[in-house]
Homo-oligomer: A and B are copies of this chain.
């Protein structure tokens, strides 16, 4: 009896929010591996805002997912067969194996992870791409230094929650923006931010005044839109804006809202710089080691929001855009 491999493939390029009809559910035999290849059973897949961009046609930092291709995703799983001397059955690995139960890799994009050091799903969160995104974005692009005020949107999210904690480790003040009182309470009470302001609250602009009374030295932007403009208006001299994402704009069917307050960059001699974590590929090792050390010292907390079942992928992905997830959104794909 052969092993079956359930997959989610991209069926159509979404207009606005992805619909059920943009996906195709496929079940086929699990793949065979050739020379040098590794077969991985996927345990967890990472669901990220960036996925929305990968579904669009057009030039970007990475090729779009082709129509009919398995949806690209970061994953962690277990090696179940290997023709590659670097990996053996029973190894746990992370890699871009996509939304499917079994994936094949030549091993080049696989990184071994240790499930005894941290739960497997952490390697999709604080010890994975989101952690590295926060690490390099805040330290390199944001150039944070002691005494800075760091403002971060999506503060309860996979990346934002790490940004504020790393800011604190570096001796900066951390101010978060998140959606809802529960998330804000978590950001301050559990993660140790100095303040967190609820953008869904009517008093939002007023609530920002006190925590930002000394202005913003680093703004780490995950959301774009109106909140980016609000941050630009509060920049201090020589401030840095790290553009990590713009989740408020990803499902737009109208043109993207450009930041109207960008001329404040001139007034404050400030800079706005974009990045993606892949830019730091050669420094992943250094970053992962530092994140794991801080985590083991109790200085970095992670929270994963785990949903189950590959068939729930389309609905679960939408939680990112409605803000329903609380913590790094991962989908458990391995069936018990």
A: residues with CB less than 8 A from B are 59-61, 224, 229, 243-246, 249, 255-276, 279
Chain B residues lying within 8 Å of A60, measured Cβ to Cβ, are 267
Chain B residues lying within 8 Å of A263, measured Cβ to Cβ, are 224, 243, 246, 249, 256, 274
**A260 to B246 Cα, complex, angstroms:** 12
Q: Is A259 in contact with B262, judged by CB distance below 8 angstroms?
A: yes
Q: In this complex, what residue of B is CB-closest to A265?
A: B274
A152 CB to closest chain B CB (Å) equals 16
Q: Is A258 in contact with B229, judged by CB distance below 8 angstroms?
A: yes
* A260 in complex: contacting residue of B61, B258, B268, CB < 8 Å: B258
Chain B residues lying within 8 Å of A224, measured Cβ to Cβ, are 263
Q: Kindly list 5 other residue pairs between chains A and B, CB separation below 8 angstroms, not including A258-B259, A258-B262.
A: A229-B258, A245-B266, A257-B258, A257-B260, A264-B274
Chain B residues lying within 8 Å of A279, measured Cβ to Cβ, are 269
A236 CB to closest chain B CB (Å) equals 12
> Nearest 3 A-B pairs (CB), nearest first?
A258-B258, A266-B274, A265-B274
Chain B residues lying within 8 Å of A249, measured Cβ to Cβ, are 263
Q: Is A271 in contact with B271, judged by CB distance below 8 angstroms?
A: yes
Q: Is B276 in contact with A269, judged by CB distance below 8 angstroms?
A: yes
Chain B residues lying within 8 Å of A265, measured Cβ to Cβ, are 243, 272-274
Chain B residues lying within 8 Å of A268, measured Cβ to Cβ, are 61, 274
**A264 to B272 Cα, complex, angstroms:** 12
Q: Which of A243, A264, A266 has the most CB of B within 10 A?
A: A266
**A59 to B234 Cα, complex, angstroms:** 11
Q: Is B273 in contact with A271, judged by CB distance below 8 angstroms?
A: yes
Chain B residues lying within 8 Å of A245, measured Cβ to Cβ, are 266
Q: Which of A255, A263, A268, A279 has the most CB of B within 10 A?
A: A263
